[in-house]
Chains A and B, each alone.
Chain A
Amino acid sequence: MIDARRRILLKGSLAAGAVGVAVGAGLLTPRIVLAAWPEAAFKAEAVDAALQSLLGSSSHEANDAIKIKAPDIAENGAVVPITVETDMAGIKSISIIAAGNATPLVAAFDMGENAVGFVSTRIKMAKTSDVIAVVKAGDNVYSAAKEVKVTIGGCGG
């Protein structure tokens, strides 16, 4: 009797273990829409080349609906707080570019259906330059730029 119970217990825990492994391996979680890391875009050394590679087009239209919150003067280029905010509808992605960096593309945020146009992060800047926020909304690409003066560059070297 005791032996039979032990069998059942063992079977039960084995089954639970198998489900756990499946979840851990990502078999049961929904597949993420995220594409592979766009290496070419992040390695591009010019703003246009990075955008061309990332979004398939380097053209973008300046738009006042995009607000960039960044310091006018950043004393430490290693930590420059950047906030991009927009109330546009149908936002698909928000990309942040530091024009003066060796590789200008800093980050690309793909937004889900429920996204609100707001991202905030801290970036490294090598020297004084424009920070460009590129927003893809529907099929259109909009942008805004703000100059940040950098006292001490933050990309080492």
Chain B
Amino acid sequence: MATGTIKVRAKATGGVTEVKALMTHPMETGLRKDKKTGELVPAHFIQEVTCTWKDQTVMAAHWGGTISTNPYLAFKFSGAQPGDEITLKWSDNKGDSDSETAAIS
């Protein structure tokens, strides 16, 4: 399991929480050729990203390899208070995963 690949911040304004996250991941589509060897670089990308708040899944994303390298993600949900914790988790097509928890400010 990977560690330290997620930076996540969440901010509540007017009852709506905006979550912003940056992940470190190569996001290989499987279609790119290695310039030196001419071989295809095998696909390696994040397939699932989920965000939970108080045992509730507020957002669950399926991604393909066409999300940019080192993915950025932002989304919003309502109902949370400053101080609540959210957890963001990703898993990729090679079975690797990471998660990070942040308090809403």
Chain A positions near chain B (C-beta within 8 angstroms): 29-30, 32-34, 37-38, 42, 78-81, 83, 98, 101-103, 105-116, 118-125, 154-157
Contacts and interface: CB of A to CB of B under 8 A. Distances in A.
B103 interface: no
Contact of A155 (B31, B47, B48): B31
B48 A34 contact: yes
B61 interface: yes
B58 to A, nearest CB: 4
A137 B54 CA distance: 24
Contacts of B62: 34, 37-38, 42, 107-110
Contact of B33 (A30, A111, A122, A157): A157
Interface of B: 16, 18, 29, 31-33, 41, 47-48, 50, 52-53, 55-69, 71-80, 93
A154 B69 CA distance: 10
Given A108-B61, A109-B59, A122 B71 contact: yes
Contacts of B50: 32, 34
7 contacts: A32-B50, A79-B68, A83-B74, A120-B75, A121-B72, A122-B67, A154-B68
Interface of B is mostly: strand
A109 B47 CA distance: 11
B69 to A, nearest CB: 7
A41 B67 CA distance: 15
Contacts of A118: 18, 74-76
B60 A115 contact: no
A38 B60 CA distance: 13
A115 B66 contact: no
Given A115-B76, A123-B68, A156 B59 contact: no
Contacts of B48: 34, 37
A34 B31 contact: no
A125 to B, nearest CB: 8
A143 B21 CA distance: 26
Given A32-B57, A34-B60, A114-B58, A121 B71 contact: yes
A20 B16 CA distance: 32
A148 to B, nearest CB: 13
Closest 4 CB pairs of A and B: A156-B32, A116-B76, A120-B74, A122-B68
